Each structure stands twice: as C-alpha cells, then as structure tokens.
Amino acid sequence: MTTATRPVVAVDRAGLREALEPIRAHGRSVALVPTMGALHAAHVALVRRAHELADAVVVSIFVNPLQFGPAEDFARYPRDLDADLAVCARESVDVVLAPSVEAMYPVGEPLVRVHAGPVGDVLEGEARPGHFDGVLTVVAKLFGMVGPDVAVFGAKDAQQIALVRAMVRDLDIPVRVDALPTVRDADGLALSSRNRFLDDGGRAAALALPRALQAGTVAAADGAPTAAVVAATRTVLADEPGVAVDYVALVDPESFQPLASQAGGFDAGTGVDRDALLVVAARVGGTRLIDNAPVTMRPPVRVRGSAT
Ligand code: PAF
C-alpha cells in the first residue's frame, strides 16, 4: 500500500490546477488558509478550523510585496518554507501554494488592483498607506486561483477581515469568509510571525498590549463611556516605557470609524448595547504589533427629567 504524500506543493498556476483537479473531480469542497508563511500555532488553528469547514485544505504561503510600504519589513519578514511544509504535513494540509513573486505577478506589478476604499484609509491603513489595497489585491487573486468554498482568517487582523468581507460582498466573490478568534500565548500575547523579532525585554514590554486591552474591556463592562474606555487602555500602555503607541481606538467593527464620532454620539444615553472593537497598534523596538478585543458597549439609559 502506498501512502499519499501530503501536501502537494504547487509553485504556480499550472501546478495548482493539477493539484486541485482530483479534489474537484471528486466534488470535494475546498477551504483556503491564506498566509505569509512563518507558520505558528495560530496558523495551525486556522488550518484545523479549515479542516472542519471543508473536505480539502489549501494553504497559500506568499510574502506579498504589494502590501508592504517602502520603509517596511518586506525584506526581513521571516521566511522558512521547509519548516512551513513540515507544519502543513503534520496538519494534513492537502495542497500548499507557494509561488515566487514572479509566478504570482508574471507581468510585474499589477496594473489593476483592488482599492480598499475608506475603511482602508484609517488606523492600519493610515499608518500603512496602500497596505490594504495590496492585501485585497492578493487575496482576490488567491480566491481567483484557488476558487475556495471558504477562506479562513485570524481575528487579530480585524481590519483586514472586515475589508475582505466587504470585498467579497461588494464584488460578489462566491466564497464564505470565516474568522477565528485571536490565538494567544499563555502570557496573553497575540501570536504573530513578527513576535520572533522581540527579544526578552521586548516581549515583556509587548505584554502591555493584551494588558491594556483587558483594562479597556473591564472599563467597558463597567459601563464606562467610550473616552474612558480608550483612556483606560492608553494608561496601561503609557506605563510601559518599551512601548510606543501608534493608535488606540474604540471603533465600529465594520466601518472602523471611532464610536464617539457616530451620528448622534454613542454615549448619548440611548441605552442600546452595541458591539465594538477596541484596537491598538504600537511599536516595541523595531517591531510593530497590533491587537484588538471585541467589547460590548453599554451606554447609560437616560432617565427622563434627569440631569445629563
Ligand atoms: O494576514 C496575512 O498573512 C496576509 O495579509 C494575507 C491575508 C495572507 C495576504 O497576504
């Protein structure tokens, strides 16, 4: 008896077509896990989720130059294909798509790109101009190449997921987008390929991010208004000298607009709960980290006749 060797590794469109052909021929559904490699436990969680959602799992490994600015860490972004393939083999991934930049963009930089629109211009998009256009362009290409039934993303990149969902809706791309809650180390740090750039001191400092989100979440649960939730989050970050804050915001999970700027003001005493996302970005040494926590905001019910 021969044992099938998994995963099949495809490095271009032809290889991918060949790898997918038997899967499609048997009418098996496909889940795509798009990654930039340097796979860690959070990617493993995505792959396991993908196995739950579809018959076959495709993992793409591609460090996409389009989503890095000129001063960003494209060159030093961690790459270790052999280690990634070992992870994929352990996790019974069916197909790995690992194209070179030339295979992915055969005519050079694409002339036509997906534009992320206004949600792509705030927070991460403001800090990293063009980032989300690059992300959506490569994700649209991956959807076109693989044709998955479902694609699985991690919730740590919340703005990315909101934009991928918006792209799928607005461009009628027939794929379901699934988001897996952020996977954290035992100490609370959200898993990220960039964590490997942190030395011991940097890692200790980075723990201020989950601590800050926790403080903000507790403030929200206590019924604090938006400004107080943001302030509670900022206070924890300000106490950690190793952390340089880029932004802290309490936003609508779809529009990524600050809750405080919503029409009528969120704290206006409507008494209606609403879901929000507390988002942070900060630099620890040369490493930029992002994290977020979902919160339910509970504005006070304004009692008729009471002082405001
Ligand atoms: O989240 C990532 O790793 C990347 O942004 C993605 C979705 C693989 C696109 O390059």
ω before 258 within 30° of 0 (cis)? no
The number of angstroms, rounded, from the C-alpha of 160 to the middle of its chain's C-alpha atoms is: 5
What is the token pair recorded at 157?
């990149």
Which of the residues are catalytic?
A: 43
Q: Which residues, including other chains, have CB under 8 Å from residue 134's CB and lie 6 or more apart?
A: 64, 65, 66, 67, 68, 113
| pLDDT tens-digit readout, 197-220 | 999 999 999 999 999 999 999 999
- Residue count (the chain): 308
Pick the residue whose CA is nearest to atom 9 on ligand 1.
135
Q: What is the CATH number of domain 197-297?
A: 3.30.1300.10
Q: Which CATH number fits domain 8-180: 3.30.160.60, 3.40.50.620, 3.40.50.1100, 3.50.50.60?
A: 3.40.50.620
Least confident of 178-187, 218-227, 234-243: 218-227
Per-domain residue ranges of the chain: 8-180, 197-297
| 142 Cα nearest atom in ligand 1 | 9
Query: Residue with structure tokens 């579809």?
Result: 54
| pLDDT tens-digit readout, 281-293 | 999 999 999 999 9
Distance CA 249, CA 230 (A): 6
Pick the residue whose CA is nearest to atom 7 on ligand 1.
34
User: In Å, what is the CA distance from 302 to each residue of 70, 271, 299?
Assistant: 50, 7, 9
| 64 Cα nearest atom in ligand 1 | 10
Pick the residue whose CA is nearest to atom 3 on ligand 1.
35
Residue 188, judged by CB atoms within 10 A of its CB (0-12, 13-18, 19+), counts as: middle
Given a cut of 80, whether residue 305 has pLDDT beyond it is no
28 C-alpha to center of ligand 1: Å? Answer: 25
Given a cut of 90, whether residue 14 has pLDDT beyond it is yes
**Predicted confidence band of residue 307 (pLDDT cuts 50, 70, 90):** very low
308 C-alpha to center of ligand 1: Å? Answer: 46
Does the Cβ of 64 fall within 6 Å of ligand 1?
yes
Q: Mutation test of ligand 1: which of 157, 167, 178 has the most ligand atoms closer than 8 Å to its C-beta?
A: 157
252 C-alpha to center of ligand 1: Å? Answer: 22
237 C-alpha to center of ligand 1: Å? Answer: 27
Does the Cβ of 138 fall within 6 Å of ligand 1?
yes
Span 240-245, mean pLDDT? Answer: 98
Percent share of the chain, pLDDT over 70: 92
**Predicted confidence band of residue 265 (pLDDT cuts 50, 70, 90):** low
Given a cut of 80, whether residue 264 has pLDDT beyond it is no
